[in-house]
Structure 1
């Protein structure tokens, strides 16, 4: 596959002074302590850190699953840090593609029906939903498995269904949270290879991981520790 221009387009993700404080009675815990970061269009960035570093909290904010206590989050130049829950739901549905460790597929539905779900919530017509879902499955190499239910697929295939679901709305970014955490080495390589291909086609990808080998596949690594970005380095994987 031919690589696109690697020069990132500024402004897909911009965080300014992001703090997140959790409170329980008189007890406060500061999970993020002032995060500043920028991710340009077409970048493949891995956020790496140990358990308790703040990377899950950062993922939740990047995915508009949570809101910061302080600071500004711009997604595609639009401030999402002050949006209502209804507005955030629209952003999550249309502008962010999620890939989770647990796949989060509905066991009773065939692959294409799982992939079309974001389009159902968006009010897309039935015919268009199926066409786009099948096209997304073909893109991840599962064009012959559109009618298979999750229980009829391997772990790696289920995660590829999840990637297809993330792609089907043509989102601003793909947010992958420990996407290989439940996979064997062969399936891990297949999923990471798919993310490589998506990056080379111009997709913006943010990968959350605690594994340095997985993070090394990205073009840039952000290290988080104790709620702060402690390192920002380019890597030579791409």
Structure 2
């Protein structure tokens, strides 16, 4: 069976759109789950793989707190499931690895799976089930609402280096369907408790997570995980870690 995947450009009909081949190395970097938009994000206490649907048939917000490594890992795995990734950032150099991971077509053109843009408003391409879209907002600890998800199969991911007290007043944190938290210092763990209504044992656990640990937080969901990687992903991103 062929290990390449053909992709259509979002916003164009399938019949008219040119096709691009995703390099096998991009697919090798992850082990996506079987459902559309799902991906493995870590392992459980017994080493069992744990996955979640990052891209969904409804507009979705998600938040990562703890550094660039986790956010770039999610972006890379979204690309491997066939999603388009647009990164709006003030530090484009930090995200160039996504363009490099996407590779080139047979005629030397860059595979346009990942786009790096400035932190200015733009109209994202149309997202569909066959061409889901992940918009990454890397705009500091108190990001403006520049790219709210507006259509099915579009997810906006807010990359927070740390928790700021003002985050509790904005839609990014209050309306996020999915939050991924790495280890937090005690004052930020207390803030997380107020924003997401956590219990004292959960707040305490956030302060003791290992460098490769995280917590998946959602509607009635609190799941500690261990972040996992493989050889190809380590070549692109380096070892699993907190921060960057």
The TM-score normalised by the length of structure 1 is: 0.38
Structure with more of its chain in strand, by fraction: 1
Using CA pairs under 8 Å that are at least 6 residues apart, name the structure with larger relative contact order, 1 or 2: 1
